[in-house]
Structures are given as C-alpha cells and as structure tokens.
C-alpha cells in the first residue's frame, strides 16, 4: 500500500463522507454528483468510500463500480499532489498538443499518457478540449491555465510546481499584434 493510500484509506473522515452522501439526499439519481463530491474531497474514489455509498444509498456496489469506471473524471487510484490536465482538443492537437504531452511524459518519466509519478507529486490527465482553443496548446495545472505552451517551456512550468513556489502565469509567445 502506497503512502498516500494509507493516508486517505485508513482515516477516511467518515463524518465528512456521511455529510456528502446526505447532502445529495441519498437519491439514486444523485450517484454521479455524490461521487464527484467524494472525489473532490479525497482526490480520488477510495474503495471504502464506494462501499459506504453502496450501503447508504442502497445501490449494488457493482453498479457504483460500473459508473465509476465509465466516466473518465473518476479515479480509483490515489492521485498526485499536482494534477496536470493537458488539452488534447482538435485545436490544441493541430498546434502540437501531442508533443506537449510527450514532453511531459518524458519529463515525469511516465509510461502512458496519464498516470501518477512515483513520488506522488504529479498526476497527468489528458482531457479532450478545455474550450480555450484560441490559446492552444493549453495545459492546466491545479486549475491554473497555461496557454501557448511549447515543448521547450514545459519543464519550466513543471519545475515551478515541483519546487512548491507560487507560480507566475507562464504564457508562451505573445501575439504578433502585441
């Protein structure tokens, strides 16, 4: 069991979890929104939490697992401290978004287009279009948008997060008009 799994898994703040489930009135239709809330609380969907949701909401665990694996936003694995979303929308793709993700992968030594680094610092999660198509390629780290990223300034951005310093927005090449 990894360090962070222990941190979350053993000490699930049960009260908090209860209040999330209660907030959504135990309505079966609120399953997805309950899971979203749980994920934003714990950073991923811990197994214990899903078992509890099954009990409280009276939904077979199987069905919850099925929903949790269907939607891409849910993670059943603990995620890193910083979450990197790389936009792979069409506009970012034609502007070289694929090369940005390659670069991040190499920089973080990740095998796939996604996953968490061994030191639990970063989790890479590609997304399909953030709707910032004019500023592509776009990456979002911890909800901060970085636009017009180039393979060259990827490591600059990552480094600032791994150092734990507050990051000033890094914007790639400015416009010709400017």
Partner 1 sequence: MKDIDKFKQKLSRIRKSKAEESNRPCIIVSSGTCGEARGSKEVFLALKNVIKKYKLGKKVDIRLTGCHGFCQVEPIIIIHPENIFYQSVQPEDAEEIISETIINKNIIDHLLFKDPNNGKKIKLEKDIPFYKKQNKLLLKNNASIDPFKIEDYIGIGGYSAILKVLSKMKPEKVIDTIKESGIRGRGGAGFPTGIKWSIAGKTEGKKKYIVCNADEGDPGAYMDRSILEGNPHSVLEGMMIGANAIGAREGFIYIRYEYPLAVTTIDAAIKQAKKYRLLGKNILGTGFDFDIKIVRGAGAFVCGEETALMASIEGKKGEPRQRPPFPAERGIWNKPTNINNVETWANVPLIINNGAKWYSKIGTKGSKGTKIFSLVGKINNTGLVEVPMGISLKEMIYDIGGGIPENKNFKAIQTGGPSGGCIPKELLDLPIDYDELASVGSIMGSGGMVVMDEDTCMVDVAKYFLSFLEEESCGKCLTCREGIERMLEIVERITEKEGKKEDIETLKELGEVVKDASMCQLGQTAPNPVLSTLKYFENEYLAHIREKKCPAKVCRALISFKILKDVCNGCGACRIACPEKAISGEKKKLHSIDRKKCIKCGICFETCKFDAIDKRAGSD
Partner 2 sequence: MINLRIDGLDVQAEDGWTILETCQFYGIDIPTLCYDHGLSPYGACRLCLVEIGEGKNAKLVSSCTYPALEGLKVKSHSNRIIKARKIVIELMIARCPNSKTLQDLASKYNVQKIRFKIKHEDCLLCGLCVRMCKEQMMSGAIDFIGRGKDRRITTAFDEKSDLCRTCGGCMYICPICELRCQGPDPPGAVCGSCLEMSPTCLDFSSEAQCFMVESGCGTCVRNPIKKNVNEMEE
Q: Which residues bind partner 1 (CB under 8 A)?
A: 27-33, 35-36, 63, 66-67, 70-74, 88-91, 93-95, 99, 102-103, 106, 127-136, 138, 143, 145-147, 150-152, 169, 171, 174-178
Establish if 111 lies at the interface with partner 2 (CB under 8 A). no
Binding site partner of 65, from partner 1, partner 2, none, Cβ cut-off 5-8 A by kind: partner 2
Binding site partner of 12, from partner 1, partner 2, none, Cβ cut-off 5-8 A by kind: none
**Residue 53 to residue 47: CA distance in whole angstroms:** 10
Establish if 131 lies at the interface with partner 2 (CB under 8 A). no
Least separation, in Å, of the C-beta of 127 and partner 2?
A: 16
**Residue 14 to residue 22: CA distance in whole angstroms:** 12
């Amino acid at each position: 069991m990894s360090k962070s799994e222990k941190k979350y898994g053993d000490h699930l703040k049960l009260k908090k979890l209860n209040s999330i489930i209660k907030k959504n009135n135990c309505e079966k239709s609120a399953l997805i929104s309950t899971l979203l809330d749980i994920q934003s609380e714990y950073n991923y969907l811990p197994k214990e939490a899903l078992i509890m949701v099954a009990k409280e909401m009276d939904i077979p665990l199987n069905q919850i697992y099925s929903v949790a694996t269907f939607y891409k936003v849910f993670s059943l694995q603990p995620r890193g401290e910083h979450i990197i979303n790389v936009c792979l929308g069409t506009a970012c793709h034609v502007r070289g978004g694929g090369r940005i993700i390659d670069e991040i992968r190499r920089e973080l030594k990740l095998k796939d287009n996604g996953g968490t680094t061994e030191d639990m610092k970063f989790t890479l999660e590609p997304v399909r279009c953030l709707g910032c198509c004019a500023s592509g390629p776009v990456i979002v780290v911890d909800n901060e948008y970085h636009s017009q990223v180039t393979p060259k300034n990827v490591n600059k951005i990552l480094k600032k997060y791994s150092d734990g310093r507050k990051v000033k927005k890094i914007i790639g090449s400015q416009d010709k008009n400017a």
